[in-house]
Amino acid sequence: MELPSSYNSKEVEDKIYQLWEKSGFFNPDKLGKNYKKPFTIIMPPTNANGNLHAGHALVMTIEDIMTRYKRMQGFKTLWLPGLDHAGFETQVVYEKQLEKEGKSRFKMTPEELYKEIAEFTDKNKKNINSQVKKMGSSCDWSREKFTLDTDIIKIVYNTFEKLYKDNLIYKGKKIINWCPKHQTSLSDLETADTEKNDKFYYLKYGPFTIATARPETKFGDKYVVMHPKDKRYSDYKNGQKIELEWINGPITATIIKDEAIDMDFGTGVMTITPWHDAVDFEIAQRHTLEKEQIIDFYGKLLPIAGEFSGMKILEARPLIIEKLQAKGLVEKIEENYKHVVKTCYKCNSLIEPQIKEQWFLKMKPLAEPAIKAIEKNQIKIIPEHYKKIALHWLNNIIDWNISRQIVWGIPIPAKTCEKCKEIYIDIENKFTECKKCGGALKKETDTFDTWFSSGQWPYAVLGFPKNKDFKTFYPTDVMETGGDLIFFWVSRMIMFSLYNTGKIPFKNVYLHGLVMDAKGQKMSKSKGNVINPLDLTEKFGTDALRMALVVGNTPGTSLPLDENRIKGYRNFATKIWNASRFVLMNLDGYPSASSGQVKILFSANDKKLISDFKKQSKQITKEMDGFKFYVASEKIYHYFWHTFCDKIIEEQKPRLLGQDKKERMASQHLLITLLSESLKILHPFMPFITEEIYQQLPVKNLPTGRQAKKSCLMIENWPATK
């Protein structure tokens, strides 16, 4: 059989992927009776709103390595793929597209918008799946799930109802993060910190001086707060009223003493704006103070601002200061005041805290069992230092705002009585009027935070509670995802799963780091350094990219993706190809399938080489079991190139080319054995090229009778380690 002198990944990859799909072995049910013990990985559902990026390529590579390894070890292996509607994220992507077309979502009906985004998502689903396949992912497509599948939604709804009955869900008027651009609330995790340089104004407020960077919020300030132990203000008593001149005329202010005040900051006195500041809100709650909205949801001033009403805050700010100056109320202005502000993590708009009625989930009772499971190592987190990070967050968890004012998501299945405010969870849409007072019911228009549904992913995709898959494959073995999702997703999956199923969702969490550009910088569209993994597979082959992503890449640390490295592994692929070609080209006289049993006489050196290989594979297996793919891949790379190719093949040349038939046959058999065993270990890392070569190997009915060729390398047995 004649092979070309270099490996052509483009010709091979699609063909081999089809061979695997046809074999059916991605599906654990098709693996046969010998595969008993389950091994399960649930793929993090890919956002169906764009293309696969370098981070996805890493996910697919690591998870496919684990899946192929376990499958070869005889586990009933399931890697379940999925897609995420990615609520807010997708809507943001789609809105950007609308903007480019000169449209706005606020001019469309919710139904129109939903329909368009659904079509957009549908297109992307196909695109994403073909890219996942390109990475060689051996996942079970027959079990693919989407976060908006009806059975998933049903499970999410049941959980919501259960949480409500258990008194863990409440609708509350609390201060939330409001993005004025996207017109939705956001959870605390969905905001970013941005450092800003602003002016800092010292204003005269009656007998006090207060400092602020946001004078436009101060119209309604009628409480002035100081620390109870601050001696400078000991003459003032809590609750005491004072009269003073303020922006739009005389007002009555009340003195409040609260320990939240930092005596060393500014003047130690501040006025509060409970509607637009989280700390102020807390103070107001403690002292049951009145709260008033100053800024509307579009970022414009309300009538309380008098002549400034209707103005945008940034326009109003200098004018307000002008007026205050005219009234002699500005003591001084500090330039270049550096402070940190909250911004929308998607559009960088300034977050305007607002008080708004939202749905909240009480987190403390859910977090407690999760904390225990992590502390007791029932769930093992790799790398270990993320354990502390997760525990710290869980120990300080606050209630989660789960409602979003966007259309692209799962609607919250609730109705509220317009008269008595009674809440009904109405999954089947059967309530029409209030049972208590007969009032009309208003249907909730908010949708769930996308993480409320994806947080239930592991048991939802397996058909909790009754499905056979749930009983077979749950709890799953590994959750592999990015370290940045430890709070957003991983922690919430643990909490929801323990709450709903009573069991942990996964035994191990493997957190990979970020994939950076060649210079080690974070990839971003604005920097223009985004690497498209599909370009790299095209250029160097998928196997080479996979190796570049895994060799030396320790979990939790970032990886600079350098083309030179990928090129190195492309060279390795060529090396594998040519070594195999050499072995195949020197098979003259090697017994074929029809030759029957032939005795092979191994020399002492042959036996030593075989036993050396076993030692190697034993070590590599140990590394694989310890999730050290970065070491395992390097070891097999090194063995194959610098031991098998450089030493063993070279040493065997005289024997292969000599006249002694028995010697030649022994040599042929040695090479075939070491090659095929090496290919098995290489397979999880470089599935395409190894499968292609395997398909050419004459390992059926070998003289020893031990190596029965299977239909593909993917289901060959992992080399024995005993």
Contacts to RNA by CB under 7 A: 5-6, 188-189, 193, 210-214, 260-271, 277-279, 339-340, 385, 388-389, 392-393, 396, 484, 487, 520, 522, 552, 554, 556-560, 562, 564-565, 568, 570-571, 573-575, 578-579, 581-582, 585, 630-631, 634, 638, 641-642, 645-647, 649-650, 653
For RNA, which is the closer residue by CB, 188 or 538?
188
For RNA, which is the closer residue by CB, 94 or 246?
246
Please report how close the Cβ of residue 586 comes to RNA at its closest, in angstroms. Answer: 8
Q: Are 41 and 611 in contact (CB under 8 A)?
A: no
For RNA, which is the closer residue by CB, 164 or 540?
540
Cβ neighbours of 338 (radius 10 Å) = 9
Rounded Cα distance between 631 and 81, Å, is 27
For RNA, which is the closer residue by CB, 291 or 419?
291
For RNA, which is the closer residue by CB, 27 or 349?
349
Please report how close the Cβ of residue 653 comes to RNA at its closest, in angstroms. Answer: 6
Cβ neighbours of 340 (radius 10 Å) = 9
H/E stretch holding 184 reads strand 184-186
Exposure on the CB side of residue 412, measured as CA atoms within 13 A: 30
Token pair, residue 677, equals: 């065993």
**Which DSSP letter does residue 166 get?**
T
Strands, DSSP E only, in 362-472?
Answer: 380-382, 400-401, 403-404, 414-417, 423-425, 441-443, 447-448
In the block, tokens 């320790």 appear at 554
Please report how close the Cβ of residue 174 comes to RNA at its closest, in angstroms. Answer: 13
Rounded Cα distance between 3 and 19, Å, is 19
H/E stretch holding 450 reads helix 450-454
Rounded Cα distance between 106 and 351, Å, is 19
- Pick from 439, 200, 445, 232: which is nearest to 335 by CA? 200
In the block, tokens 């499958």 appear at 71
For RNA, which is the closer residue by CB, 48 or 649?
649
Please report how close the Cβ of residue 511 comes to RNA at its closest, in angstroms. Answer: 11
Please report how close the Cβ of residue 247 comes to RNA at its closest, in angstroms. Answer: 15
Please report how close the Cβ of residue 47 comes to RNA at its closest, in angstroms. Answer: 18
Which ranges of 335-400 would DSSP assign to H, the alpha helix?
364-375, 385-395
Q: Read out DSSP for 233-262?
A: GTTS-TT-EEEEEETTEEEEEEEEE-TTS-
Please report how close the Cβ of residue 251 comes to RNA at its closest, in angstroms. Answer: 17
For RNA, which is the closer residue by CB, 25 or 630?
630
In the sheet that holds 46-47, the strands lie side by side as 46-47, 82-84, 145-146
For RNA, which is the closer residue by CB, 395 or 603?
395
The secondary structure of the chain in percent helix, strand, coil, rounded to multiples of 5, reads 45, 20, 35
- Helix, strand, or coil (residue 645): helix
Please report how close the Cβ of residue 510 comes to RNA at its closest, in angstroms. Answer: 15
Give the β-pairing of 38-42 and 76-80. Answer: parallel
Rounded Cα distance between 714 and 101, Å, is 47
For RNA, which is the closer residue by CB, 269 or 479?
269
For RNA, which is the closer residue by CB, 167 or 396?
396
Please report how close the Cβ of residue 657 comes to RNA at its closest, in angstroms. Answer: 8
Rounded Cα distance between 230 and 260, Å, is 12
For RNA, which is the closer residue by CB, 570 or 680?
570
Q: Read out DSSP for 47-72?
A: ETTS---HHHHHHHHHHHHHHHHHHH
For RNA, which is the closer residue by CB, 4 or 249?
4
- Helix, strand, or coil (residue 342): strand
Rounded Cα distance between 145 and 78, Å, is 13
Give the β-pairing of 506-512 and 476-482. Answer: parallel
For RNA, which is the closer residue by CB, 34 or 336?
336
Cα 562 to Cα 70, 513, 547, 565, 575: the distances in Å are 30, 16, 12, 5, 20
Rounded Cα distance between 80 and 76, Å, is 13
Please report how close the Cβ of residue 377 comes to RNA at its closest, in angstroms. Answer: 16
For RNA, which is the closer residue by CB, 206 or 411?
206
